[in-house]
Chains A and B, each alone.
Chain A
Amino acid sequence: MRHLTDDELLLHHNHDGDDVEMADQHLTSCAECQARLIAIEEVLKLVVAPPVPDRGPDYGFQVWNRIRVELPELTTRERWWLAIPPWGWVGVAAVLLVVVFLLGRYSSNRQSPLNVVTNGAVTTPLPAQQVRERVLLLAVGDHLDRTQMLLMELSHASDPEEIDISEGRQRAVELANANRLYRTTAQKVGDATIVTLLDELERVLLQVGHEPSHLTARDLKGIQDGIQSQGILFKVRVVRANVRRESAQRPQAATSQMKGPTT
């Protein structure tokens, strides 16, 4: 006859466990297990949940009043991409690739764009190469934000025993797929800095994507050390800042370049 383990007795106390009936049957005929169960129950009876102080019906309103001043406004830029599900980013990247391809075709067919007179000033349509670069910068910027968020979460994750990274792993796979398309696009546009960074990111994302869903503290440390030793988060931050600056500067540069001479 196999006696119940302490785990099983504990689960039995909470009417939990894989085989409640088997445990019940055993307990009716085994005095030793009964005694052990009583010992566990005596302790659990002593440990009662402390009475929770009543907060009153308007507690929620009080909490709201305390936090409302600290809530930042969500910016428009933050808002529009929140609506896109994680897997949607692969689609966004694919669309981008098509846009860049079409722009390439368009630019080779139209070598000398016509000047346009608007409000008395002569303006020239943006050269296709610049448009392509701008589309890429905008798209890669958001991709880098999302990747940075995931890597930061992994870098700060901690658990003394085991951690479930299944959600992060799934995001890593989706980001790696989108990353591949962005890298191809960046190669076409000829942006070597972004290509190099995306190349490194892809390796890290694929590594995370291939990890098991549950990691021991040691495995997690391995990933964190990998992220840290390559300085990948720092590189992402630097390139992200450059991308942001460039995408803000380019329209101004293009406009000043294209304005006709003032007389």
Chain B
Amino acid sequence: MEIDDTAAVARVRSGDKDTFRLLVERHSHTIFRLAFRMMENEQDAEEIVQETFLRAYRALDGFEARANFGTWIYRIALNRCYDFLNQRKSRPVIQPQGDPEAPTVIDQIPTKSPSPERSLLSQEIQVQVHSAMELLTSGERIAFVLFHFEGRSIEEVARTLNVRQGVVKNRVYRAVKKLRRQLQPLRAFR
């Protein structure tokens, strides 16, 4: 018979380690999706998934029976993402050389270009978006991804991150402002 998360947690806490498998199987896809959207990197996302479940298992004593396991583990995963993003920020980044005002590949492609160029343009847009996302602080990125990619409301994001709604609004707005500044030249191509 299928048991729910609360019953599974109770079993694990009473010493049945193997029941943790049920929880892992149930929540792995969600955690991977979240981690991948935050990191945009498969390897980092896999590491986050693994570490999230290990941490959750070790911290089961802090899990309150009346809470929702899915929400709880989602929060643990977000904290891991936050740590990974901070670590990634502290790594040295090699900046592209050359004149920042010089025309980019995109500037040289006409708007109504034939298919191969369109495809190249699309790839270039992805690169630019990826670079622009890297300019966000970890807090801005997490709030933005939850709001824009995961489609959560400001209230839900605030609850998930344990901060006030005003803080989430600020972070999302700052993120959009930065992205806007970076992606302004691309707007004409959509």
Interface residues of B in 124-180 (CB under 8 A from A): 125-126, 129, 132-133, 137, 139, 145, 147-149, 151, 153-154, 162-164, 167, 169-173, 176-177, 179-180
Contact of B129 with A47 in the complex, beta carbons under 8 Å: yes
Contacts of A86 in B (CB 8 A): 64
Q: How far is the CA of A230 from the CA of B85 in the complex (A)?
A: 33
Interface residues of A in 128-177 (CB under 8 A from B): 149, 159-164, 166-167
- A46 and B42 in contact (CB under 8 A), knowing A52-B32, A67-B54, A214-B163? no
Contact of B129 with A46 in the complex, beta carbons under 8 Å: yes
- A79 and B176 in contact (CB under 8 A), knowing A42-B190, A47-B129, A63-B53? no
Q: How far is the CA of A71 from the CA of B20 in the complex (A)?
A: 10
Contact of A82 with B64 in the complex, beta carbons under 8 Å: no
Q: Does A73 contact B (CB under 8 A)?
A: yes
From A149, which residue of chain B is reached at the shortest CB distance? Answer: B62
Contacts of A72 in B (CB 8 A): 58
Contact of B148 with A47 in the complex, beta carbons under 8 Å: yes
- A47 and B20 in contact (CB under 8 A), knowing A63-B50, A164-B163, A214-B163? no
User: Shortest Cβ distance from B64 into chain A, in angstroms?
Assistant: 7
Contacts of B139 in A (CB 8 A): 159-161
Q: How far is the CA of A68 from the CA of B19 in the complex (A)?
A: 11
Chain B residues close to A by CB (< 8 Å): 12-15, 17, 20-21, 24-29, 32-33, 36-37, 40, 42, 49-50, 53-54, 57-58, 60-62, 64-65, 125-126, 129, 132-133, 137, 139, 145, 147-149, 151, 153-154, 162-164, 167, 169-173, 176-177, 179-180, 183-184, 186-187, 190
Taking A40-B176, A49-B37, A162-B163 as given, write out 11 further A-B residue pairs in contact, using a Cβ cutoff of 8 Å, ordered by the A residue number.
A14-B148, A17-B154, A40-B180, A43-B179, A43-B187, A46-B179, A50-B40, A63-B25, A71-B54, A79-B15, A164-B164
List, sorted by A's number, 28 A–B pairs whose CB atoms are closer than 8 Å: A10-B172, A10-B173, A10-B176, A42-B190, A43-B183, A47-B133, A47-B183, A49-B37, A53-B42, A59-B32, A61-B25, A63-B49, A64-B21, A64-B24, A67-B24, A67-B57, A68-B21, A71-B17, A74-B15, A79-B13, A79-B15, A83-B13, A85-B64, A85-B65, A162-B163, A162-B164, A163-B162, A214-B163
